[in-house]
């Protein structure tokens, strides 16, 4: 089992929160269990002293950077006297209170939506602790990986965990300040730059992460044995390492949806609505940039792979570029001698690679290789449907014009395709 991780500013309080929800499905941090909540509360007394000693003995612990709150000041300790507290209204200090009874139904739903964000972040952090402490810090697993493999497989997972811990601790502080009217969107907005700093490179690395994971699982029997042993531990709740590694991207997507739910219930034209809108927009922009980066990485990988299979018999140009992406490719039949009235036109297979900025025309070779005989910029390519009637099964004809090919000449081709 991995060494205990720093719990941050309020180790004891958060330790309770992290154990409130025991996962039962593949999205571990999204599962909320009342039974697990009660079990965690009952067992908390046995781990409090251990957590206290660990936090105070760690010089680098973020907990030392702020005044430690007494246990009676935390709502989490009050949960120990309740039977169930999976919802905001189930908390003993909230349930049956006069303030709750005086709140409108809409206000109650708003607070529940905010509380959901806090509790889901707690469960998410618990999962990250498993990913880091149980898997990434496993000495057996580390011994089987090179430095580059560790970097690609786990990327900046520890930094993602640290940002989540900091976010959760501030959310908890806001809740403790005012249980009946707490804000979470201002906290999310303040942490948006940190989210971007760690999530963007982590998600962008997914292409390499998937490749190295597949390589290790299929090509390293010892790695597979150690991995199966780690995954069989009770702390994993029957989830695989791969399930834990994809949690960060799942989390930022879910966090955006949680903020959207809060925004729907926030009073219009209020300061909180402004903060909720800005936080939501920041998460939406982050997710968009993550998706674009992933696609860009995949496109670059595809170009590198294709470059290894291409030979040029015409003017050579550098194929690999971060701004270039493959739009479509496939084999067509080029028709020749179409002006002759005698006999069928001759045909020859031509392979086209259409990119967002250029077109390659190649002759296919054995082993999936290609010999490029012509190419043109995307802006110099023009296609038009052809109504010419020819002998034989020559349907779906179209003309392709290279207004300016690699030699600066105008070239015309007639192609036949199998379908429209």
Q: DSSP string covering 42-64, please?
A: HHHHHHHHHHHHHHHH-TT-GGG
Q: Inform me whether the pLDDT recorded for 253 exceeds 90.
A: yes
pLDDT at 338: 55
**pLDDT tens digit sequence for 140-185:** 999 999 999 999 999 899 999 999 999 999 998 999 888 898 999 9
194 versus 47: the higher-pLDDT residue is 194
**pLDDT tens digit sequence for 31-61:** 333 333 343 334 333 333 333 333 433 333 3
**pLDDT tens digit sequence for 9-25:** 343 343 334 333 333 33
Q: Report d(CA 164, CA 129) in Å as an integer.
A: 10
Q: Report d(CA 402, CA 380) in Å as an integer.
A: 6
How would you classify the pairing of strands 310-312 and 369-377? parallel
227 versus 11: the higher-pLDDT residue is 227
pLDDT at 161: 95
Tell which residue, 14, 93, 90, has the closest CA to residue 47: 14
**What number is the average pLDDT over the span 81-90?**
63
Q: Does domain 11-305 have CATH number 1.20.900.10?
A: yes
- Mean of the per-residue pLDDT values of the chain: 78
Helix H or strand E encompassing 362: strand 358-365
Q: Report d(CA 313, CA 293) in Å as an integer.
A: 33
Of the chain, the percentage scoring pLDDT greater than 90 comes to 41
Q: Where are the domains of the chain?
A: 11-305, 311-416
Helix H or strand E encompassing 323: none
Contacts of 350 (CB under 8 A, 6+ apart): 331, 332, 333, 334, 361, 362, 363, 413, 415
Given a contact cutoff of 8 angstroms between Cβ atoms, the answer to whether 266 and 276 are in contact is yes
Count CA within 13 A, CB hemisphere, residue 406. 14
Q: What are phi and psi of 6, to 5 degrees?
A: -60, 130
Angle CA 284–168–281, to nearest 5 = 15
Two domains, one topology: 11-305 and 311-416: no
pLDDT at 343: 59
Q: Does domain 311-416 have CATH number 3.40.50.2300?
A: no
Structure tokens at 311: 């030979």
Q: Tokens 């139904």 identify what position?
A: 105
**pLDDT tens digit sequence for 301-348:** 888 888 889 999 888 888 888 788 898 898 988 887 655 545 567 888
73 versus 398: the higher-pLDDT residue is 398
Whole-model pTM above 0.85?
A: no
Q: Report d(CA 162, CA 255) in Å as an integer.
A: 17
Q: Tokens 């900025």 identify what position?
A: 357
166: number of Cβ within 10 Å: 16
Q: Classify residue 377 as exposed, middle or buried by CB count within 10 Å of its CB (0-12, 13-18, 19+).
A: middle
**Band of pLDDT at residue 297, cut at 50, 70 and 90:** confident
pLDDT at 337: 64
């Amino acid at each position: 089992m991995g060494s205990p991780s720093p719990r941050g500013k309020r180790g004891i309080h958060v330790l309770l929160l992290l154990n409130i929800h025991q996962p039962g499905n593949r999205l571990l941090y999204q599962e909320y269990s009342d039974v697990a909540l009660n079990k965690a509360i009952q067992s908390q007394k046995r781990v409090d002293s251990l957590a206290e000693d660990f936090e105070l003995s760690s010089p680098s612990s973020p907990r030392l950077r702020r005044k430690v709150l007494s246990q009676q000041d935390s709502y989490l300790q009050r949960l120990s006297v309740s039977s169930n507290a999976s919802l905001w209204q189930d908390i003993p200090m909230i349930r049956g209170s006069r303030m709750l009874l005086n709140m409108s139904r809409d206000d109650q739903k708003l607070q529940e939506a905010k509380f959901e964000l806090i509790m889901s972040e707690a469960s998410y952090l618990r999962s990250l602790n498993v990913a880091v402490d149980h898997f990434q810090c496993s000495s057996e697993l580390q011994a089987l990986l090179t430095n580059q493999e560790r970097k690609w497989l786990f990327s900046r997972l520890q930094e993602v965990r640290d940002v989540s811990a900091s976010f959760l601790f501030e959310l908890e502080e806001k809740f403790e300040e005012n249980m009946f009217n707490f804000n979470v969107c201002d906290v999310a907005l303040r942490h948006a730059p940190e989210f971007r700093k760690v999530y963007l490179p982590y998600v962008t690395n997914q292409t390499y992460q998937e490749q190295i994971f597949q390589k290790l699982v299929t090509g390293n029997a010892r790695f597979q044995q150690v991995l199966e042993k780690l995954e069989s531990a009770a702390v994993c709740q029957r989830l695989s390492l791969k399930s834990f590694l994809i949690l960060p991207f799942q989390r930022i997507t879910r966090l955006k949806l949680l903020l959207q739910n809060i925004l729907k219930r926030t009073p219009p034209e209020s300061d909180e609505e402004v903060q909720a809108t800005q936080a939501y927009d920041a998460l939406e922009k982050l997710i968009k940039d993550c998706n674009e980066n992933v696609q860009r990485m995949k496109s670059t990988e595809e170009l590198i792979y294709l470059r290894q299979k291409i030979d040029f018999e015409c003017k050579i140009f550098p194929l690999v570029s971060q701004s270039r992406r493959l739009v479509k490719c496939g084999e067509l039949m080029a028709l020749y001698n179409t002006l002759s009235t005698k006999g069928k036109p001759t045909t020859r297979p031509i392979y086209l690679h259409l990119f967002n900025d250029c077109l390659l025309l190649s002759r296919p070779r054995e082993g999936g290789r290609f010999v490029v005989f012509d190419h043109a910029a995307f802006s110099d390519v023009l296609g038009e449907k052809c109504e010419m009637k020819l002998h034989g099964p020559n349907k779906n004809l179209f003309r392709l014009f290279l207004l300016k090919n690699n030699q600066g000449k105008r070239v015309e081709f007639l192609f036949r395709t199998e379908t429209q």
